[in-house]
Structure 1
Amino acid sequence: MDFGIHTFVWNDGQTQQDIEQAMEMTRETGFAILELPGLDPRAFDLDRLVRRAVELEIRLAASAGLTPAHDVTSEDPEVVRRGEMFLLEAVGVARDLGSTQMSGPIFSAHQKFPTMPTREGWKRSAEVLARVAETAKDAGVALCLELVNRYETNLINTVQQGLAYIEESGSDNIFLHLDTFHMNIEEADPVQAIRLAGDRIGYFHVGESNRGYLGSGTVDFEATFDALLEIGYSRGISIEAFNSRTCRDHLKTVCAIWRDVFHDDVDFALHSKVFLDMQYAAAQRRAGAYAPA
């Protein structure tokens, strides 16, 4: 299993220098994957990032999120059109970075909504994502819908909803991006949710219930890793965490980053890597112990 880390553990990813520094720190702390925030291809030298990733022997994983100006659930056709164009460009960035997936809350604006979702908004979103998924499939990129909590979207918060959305889209290139932080809020039984999602999981985030050091909160990582092994998940697991120094301003509001839960990014990363290695190894031992002779 390859483990990854999000750029926001290191910095806000606003410049080429930021991303390259994050890549170097990712390598130094033993991670195999660096997850990138949405990158504007006009502001970054993507070819240089790819060359540097090869030199450092790490992989790049692309992610993105929709702003209210790009909300594909909107009643405004121009907003929906902009959202579709944004997603198609993000797919192109993922392809150029060599990422096999483009993940994140890409089915609606990433924000706290003041109203209930509508059936029409759901339908518009699924139709847009189905079209984008076809282009992404040709590019060798899977779309992975990050199921964030109710305070960050009103459309899809649970695995059951995510599977229904995929079914309605009719696409075989849309998958689920699960995150233990969000599942801890929304799923009645996060472990059963992993089992239910099964082979539709395209990407997986680990995050503690308090977004701090893994093991310091209420997430049951032992059961989580057991379930991931049980379903045969092998597409990579990344730690996502934020603090006020490294988080982009709009995310501070959307994700409610009002206090820092870690201060030393290197210490946090090293602790996370050791924790993940130990949890995965222990789950493998348990799976072997329970395997039929």
Structure 2
Amino acid sequence: MKIAAFSGVFLDYSIHQAMEYTKELGFDGIEIACKEPHLSIETSRQRVEEIKTLSKAFHLKIPALAGYLGWFSTSSDNECEKSFAEFQQIVEWANILESDMIRVFQGGPNAFLAADYHYEKAAYWLKKCAGKAKEYNKKIVLEIHNMSLVETVESGLKLLNMINEENVGLIHDAGNMYITDTDYGRDSVMGLGRHLFHVHVKDEKRVDKAGAPGTFSNLTKHGEEKFLQCRLDEGEVNHQPLFDALKEVGYDKWITLECAAPHPPKERLAYDLKKVKQMLENVTVTNNQTVN
């Protein structure tokens, strides 16, 4: 498994500085957030070429571009057309940056509140995105994310079946799945099967109130809940069964660390990288034999 840092952790810094820190910390790659000052549809082609040169200089792969466009399920037709046009630009940037995957948001509402037409509209536009991505041999990844149509493995597979394109898959995100209160361990990995394209890692925990740094509120099936973003093993998300399952199925793709805990960016990524390496060293398979 290869490990990337999420550039969004360093959004207060230039993409040059983000890459420099990522390299210093010992990551294999960097997943670039499609937000300024790192990358956007407003970025010039010359600047994108410069970013590519930087990645080569730092020997960092760019496995994915973390797009924030989409939201097709609840957008107007004009808004969907605009998002699709923006996606086409991001695909061009992905091609220049040699990035295989582009994240697109499916939109909401929460899966437990969504109607069939939400899925149908999202599927229509995501299928168009998939067609454009195919022209560049790129993949679209939909993140399993709370407050979206894809909150669980089941709701993710429902949308994928409606899109019916081989180059569209899912991002497993145990932190998000903890918020949703759905399984994020071995069963989730087995359930995703070949549709598992990418993995995000972060920790969270439920708290009594929001307002402090790193806290937020979110609508779940249990009502309005409060959460605190944490470093790994300081929250309530147990990632070890996930890593065990990834090893079991022979997952050899990318894991991106995107810790948003209220600690300095470089410090929290260094901490989480150390924890992930420890968990990978302690991986066990279903017969309880440690994998060395």
Normalised to the residue count of structure 2, the TM-score between the two structures is: 0.81
Secondary structure at the counterpart of residue 230 of structure 2: coil
Query: How far did 1:221 drift?
Result: 1.6
Aligned to 1:204: 199
Instruction: Report the equivalent of 1:79.
Output: 79
CA deviations 1:160-183 (Å, max 9, x no partner) are: 111111111111110001111111
In structure 2, stretches of 5+ residues that fail to align are 205-227
Aligned to 1:170: 164
> What's 2:15 paired with?
19
Decide which structure has greater strand share: 2
Which of the two has greater helix per residue?
1
Task: Map residues 138-287 of structure 1 onto 2, 5 A cutoff.
Answer: 138-150=135-147, 153=148, 155-191=149-185, 192-209=187-204, 210-242=228-260, 261-283=261-283
In the TM superposition, 1:10-159 aligns within 5 A as: 10-12=10-12, 18-38=14-34, 39-44=39-44, 45-60=47-62, 61-66=64-69, 71-74=71-74, 76-103=76-103, 105-108=104-107, 116-150=113-147, 153=148, 155-159=149-153
Percentage of pairs with the same residue? 21
- Give the superposition deviation at 1:36: 1.0
What CA distance in whole angstroms lies between the structure 2 residues aligned with 1:75 and 1:2?
35
Question: What is the aligned length?
Answer: 259
Distance, in Å, in 2 between the alignment partners of 1:43 and 1:100 is 19
Q: In structure 2, what is the equivalent of residue 290 of structure 1?
A: 289
Corresponding residue of 1:258: none
Shift of 1:43: 2.3
Gaps of 5+ in 1: 243-260
SS of the counterpart of 2:150?
Answer: coil
RCO comparison, higher one (Cα < 8 Å, 6+): 1
Moved over 6 A (4+): none
- Mapped to 1, the partners of 2:42 and 2:278 lie a distance apart of 40
Contact 1:205-1:238 within 8 A present in 2 as well: yes
What's the TM-score, normalizing by structure 1? 0.81
Shift in CA distance, 8/126, structure 1 to aligned 2, threshold 3 Å: same
Distance 2:251 2:287 in 1: 16
Q: CA contact under 8 A between 1:4 and 1:236: conserved in structure 2?
A: yes
